[in-house]
Structures are given as C-alpha cells and as structure tokens.
Amino acid sequence: MRELPQGPTPPRNGDAIETDFLLSRRAVLSGAGALALLGVAGCSTSGGGELPALQLDDTVTGSVPIRPSISVDKNITGPDVMYASLTDNGFNVPEVPYLKVKPEFRRQIVVDTTGEAPGTIVVHLKERMLYLVQPGGDAIRYGVGIGKDGFRWSGRANIQYGREWPTWTPPPEMIQRKPELVKWQGGQPGGLTNPLGARALYIYQDGKDTGYRIHGSPEWWSIGQAMSSGCVRLINQDIIDLYSRVSKKNPVVVM
C-alpha cells in the first residue's frame, strides 16, 4: 500500500512557512471522503499520476445497498484460459470453442443465492446450472446438460466417491434400448470418447447408489440442453475443476 504524505513539504532555503498550508476542516473532510470512495470502488492509479477528477452526484436519495463482494480465484479466469487444451493423465483434452458456449454457461463466480451450506453442490435443472457453494457468500457456477424428460432425478443426496477418467458401464435397460452398446456391457475404458468424460462423481442416497452421476463430457455443445440419460454433465475442463474442489460426502441437492 502506498504511504500517504504526512504533511506539507519542508521549506527550502530558509523560506518561511506560509499560513496557506492551513486547510479548513471542510476541505480536509472532503479530501478524505474522496479517498474513501476510491477505496470502496477498488480504484487505483498507475504510474504515480494524478488521481482523476471525481464527478459525484451529491443528491441524497437514501441508503444504497452494497452488493456482496465476489472473491478472487486463480482458476476462474478468462474463458480462453479456462477452456484451453490440456494434458490430463496422458489424455490430450481438446480446446473448447468457448465463443459457441453461451456466456452464462461458462465457469464463473457468482453471489450465492442457494441458501445451502458451503461445500454443497446444488443443481438447478430448470436453469441448467450447477453451483458449488463457497464460504463467504459466493458460489462457483458451471453450465450443465441434464437428463431428458423421464430420465431426471431430484432430491438430496451425497457424493460417495469420484473417479478420474472413469470406466462407463451402460445399464441393462440402456443396452435394451441401444443394442449396439452390448460391446460395452463389461465396461468402456476411460478416454476421450467415454460418455463420462474426464471425471465422475457418484451420487448416493441413504447409502445406496442412485445410478446418477455428475460427470464430464466431450460433447461441449450439449451444455444447456436436456439430452442425457439422467446424469448431470459438464464440459471436461469444468468437471476437472469441480472435481479438484470436492471431497467425499459433499452434499448434493438436485432440484
């Protein structure tokens, strides 16, 4: 933090200190108020230049509510960084053309409106959003794809465990609907074409597997859509980020 001047410049060459240095109480308070306003607004100067002139409306209209502050997170940056290609466990995850993803479905920090405890994962099916509640009133929000009508689940549960580049085993009823999946009845190994993507979080309720997962997907274009068989899917880069933030037994609310 830059140190504020402690007083007028000492006189040089024996010059007398003029009384012009004495400021009125009103001027001092006005200057302090301006500096305080700059501090609240997060303003800063660059290169040691002069502070810009403030254009203030002094009309009194009553108290103005202050929006809760948003935290800073090193993994919530520009989409060009968050959705760049990466190498993970030997797999080269391709870049996501983020300009084709609606801005509201990209990873970001928002004010928490869920009312849930920190660490809770909240999935809003109608919004197509997943929130990871943070301490201090924030939430990290991710866009998701959800299940088609007739394949959705809702309720309260917990994350029982997670897997990196998980094996996907289609359930028998899915194989009946899509006989071509019989080749994977023993499990499809993890990889770039695996429907579970780079990570999977397994949802249990009362100690029993619900059969539903929060997982990644190579099909980034499906985010915001209702087209899965009931699971909640994220962009691979987003599920990698979410997975790094959760631990066993995180509460899950799907509504």
The residues that are catalytic are 215, 231
Partner residues linked to 213 by β-bridges: 202
Q: What is the dihedral of CA 172, 178, 181, 185, to 10 degrees?
A: 10
What gap in Å lies between CA 141 and CA 122, rounded to an integer? 9
Structural contact between residues 218 and 207, judged by C-beta atoms closer than 8 angstroms: no
Structural contact between residues 200 and 163, judged by C-beta atoms closer than 8 angstroms: yes
Q: Is 25 exposed, middle or buried (0-12, 13-18, 19+ CB in 10 A)?
A: exposed
Any alpha helices (H) in the chain, and if so which ranges?
A: 25-40, 79-82, 172-177, 236-245
